[in-house]
Amino acid sequence: EEADPAAIVGLQFAVSGNHKGVRASGAKGVCLKGSFAPAPDAASLSKAPQFAKTVPVTARFSMGGGNPKISDKTKATTRGFAMRMADPAGDMTFVIISAPVFSTKTPAQLEEFLKVRVPGPDGKPDAEKIKAFAAQNPETGRQAAWLNARPVPASFAGTDYWAVHAYTLTNAKGDKTVAKLKFVAADKAGLSDEELKAKPDSFYADELKERLAKGPARFDLVAILAQPGDPTADVTATWPEEERKTRTLGTLAITAIEPDATCDAATFDPVVDLPDGIAGPADDPMFAIRSPAYAVSLSRRSN
């Protein structure tokens, strides 16, 4: 059964209270700039221009969901990281989260996942419906379980981010490598329950301002190489990362905060905006649908 991107985006807005002028997800966030410097041997894996020279980056950190007032202290919600590494021959765009898995495996399952979460007339979703859906779709609980088992990040720059889909890298000779991509924070830090209690609902934006005044926030881009049998079309499934070979492809440095307008005029489209040398998974239905869904959200928030 085909899921309709507009229907999914409508449900994303409905679940979080139909706020106007904001993204269907990542509604609360901070726009940024920086640069990406490739590692010396990145070009041996991919011929993308971003792996051959340092390029400028526009980026945005965000909280998951369509509520622009969500507390930064929320635990079972992913932090998001969108970035466009610019090059005239083709931008390289990643829109990634602070967990190795997404919540659903197919667009149809995402539609059902959202439907049971739409608040009723009393302003609350039906807890019984959510429970019944979770029991029938156990893989949809993995992301929340993963987040609940870890401390709340002390900073948008204090956590790793995963691109969750399996990408194919192609080098100049035509050799292909399948890999998941992870941005590893140089300065990882979580908050204890005690520390979390002392924080206000919004502290990430100020923390970032103070941090960037002292120097860039850095992330290494690491490719986790697939082994035969690793699932490449299921974003609810993890690979045993610790057992996989990895290659560092470069370092992202976030240097300064940008006006919101720089990030809001367009979407970060992780499907269409990739250069030659890197491609998303053709057989992962959750990948393809992101492009039309993000376009629907853009048209709704800018009208």
Give how far Cα 19 sits from Cα of 15, 16, 75, 119, 155, Å. Answer: 10, 7, 21, 14, 25
How many C-beta neighbours within 10 Å does residue 145 have?
Answer: 12
Q: Considering Cα of 240, then 242, then 247, then 251, what sign does the dihedral take?
A: positive
Is 65 a residue that touches ligand HEM (CB under 6 A)?
no
Angle between helices 5-15 and 290-301 (to 10 degrees): 60
Q: With contacts defined by CB under 6 A, name the span among 123-131, 133-141, 174-182, 284-292 that binds ligand HEM.
A: 284-292
Q: Is 15 in the site for ligand HEM (CB under 6 A)?
A: no
Apex CA 143: angle with CA 236 and CA 72, to 5°? 140
Q: How far is residue 270's CA from residue 274's CA, in Å, rounded to a whole number?
A: 7
Length of the chain: 303
Which of 159, 267, 273, 275 contacts ligand HEM by CB under 6 A? Answer: 267
Q: Read off the tokens for 134.
A: 């979770």
What are residue 148's phi and psi, to 5 degrees?
-65, -25
- Contact status: 10 vs ligand HEM (CB under 6 A): no
Nearer CB in complex with ligand HEM: 178/233: 233
**Contact string (CB under 6 A) for ligand HEM, positions 117-146, x = contact:** ------------------------------
How open is the CA angle 110-116-121, to the nearest 5 degrees?
Answer: 140
Mark the segment that binds ligand HEM (CB under 6 A) among 48-56, 135-143, 168-176, 285-293: 285-293
Nearest to ligand HEM of 171, 264 (CB atom): 264
CA 232 to chain CA mean position, Å = 17
Q: Is 101 in the site for ligand HEM (CB under 6 A)?
A: no
- Per-residue string for binding with ligand HEM, 27-46, x by CB under 6 A? --x-----------------
Q: Per-residue x/- mask for ligand HEM, residues 147 to 166, rule CB under 6 A?
A: -----------------x--
Is the CB of residue 58 less than 8 Å from the CB of residue 16? no
Determine, following the binding rule CB under 6 A, whether residue 82 of this chain makes contact with ligand HEM: yes
Write down the least CB distance from residue 86 to ligand HEM, Å.
Answer: 16
Binding of residue 285 to ligand HEM (CB under 6 A): no
130 phi/psi in degrees, rounded to 5: -65, -45
- Applying CB under 6 A, the residues found at the interface with ligand HEM are 5, 8-9, 12, 23-26, 29, 60, 62, 80, 82, 95-97, 102, 107, 110, 164, 235, 267-268, 286, 289-290, 293-294, 297-298, 301
